[in-house]
Amino acid sequence: MEDIRLLVLDIDGTISGSHNQVTPSVVEAIRGIQQRGIRVAIATGRMFRSARRFHQAIASDLPIIAYNGAWIQDPITQKLHRRLSVPAKLGVEILNYLTAEPWKSTMHLHVYHDDELYVSEINEQTNAYEKRTGCKANVLTDLREIIYLAPTKILAVCHYEDIPKKLLSEVQKRYTTQDVYCTQSTEVYVEFTCPTATKGQAVKFLTETILGLKPENIMAIGDNFNDREMLQYAGLGIAMGNAPEPVKHCANYVTSTVEEDGVAQAIAHFNL
């Protein structure tokens, strides 16, 4: 694959599995392609500061795409290339909708602003999130206080795995894609961002505006619905073996699972 000059990687479910680390074999495979002149970037739904240790682990020299594309920042120079927000009025409307029944008893909310996490209470799911991301939550009794400042992202942490599909169906009836970008990023996470804040748009910006490359120069690997636009934009879109079937269907190739070091397998398969 001589045309590939950039590899874009998701974090959770792609380079990071149950142990929340990049395995030595994946690190070795990434460093091998870097030595051959292929650059590597991260595109994640995570907070910018939560993604930094993975950026270091794979020795990337490119900006981090965080919050599903709403935030693009270089952790080396600190240059902020892009920062998109959910308009305050829309954010309050989404908050009111999600904190009323039938949704209120099925989820709790995370709100992000200025690369900080805000919650209305600390619970078991919040504790697990803090442990996995390494980011402490700020408690606000009324999340409107931070939403009035136009948040980067609103995350619905659903209590049951059947809730995201139901919620997404209702959100699509309530809002257009010009109003808000709403996507599922894990079995229980539903994310709300600015409509232009997608991994696809962010990878396009990194590829064409920052690096001066073309889609055919890009190989992207991801594992969930929030990766679809990125996989479709890239000349070579690869889905992880642990990805949902609709995500696999929009990819050019399906590699093995994250626990089986699928990223390393894909790199070897295409002889990068």
**Distance between CA 48 and CA 63 in Å, rounded?**
10
**What tokens does 201 get?**
């748009």
pLDDT digit string, tens, across residues 179-231: 999 999 999 999 999 999 999 999 999 999 999 999 999 999 999 999 999 99
Residue 272: what pLDDT? 87
The overall pTM is greater than 0.75: yes
Residues of the chain with pLDDT under 50: none
DSSP state of 271: T
Phi, psi values for residue 114, rounded to 5°: 60, 35
**Distance between CA 102 and CA 207 in Å, rounded?**
41
Instruction: Identify the structural domains of the chain with CATH numbers, from first to last.
Output: 6-83+198-269 (3.40.50.1000), 88-193 (3.30.1240.10)
Element (DSSP H or E) covering residue 268: helix 262-269
Residue 2: what pLDDT? 67
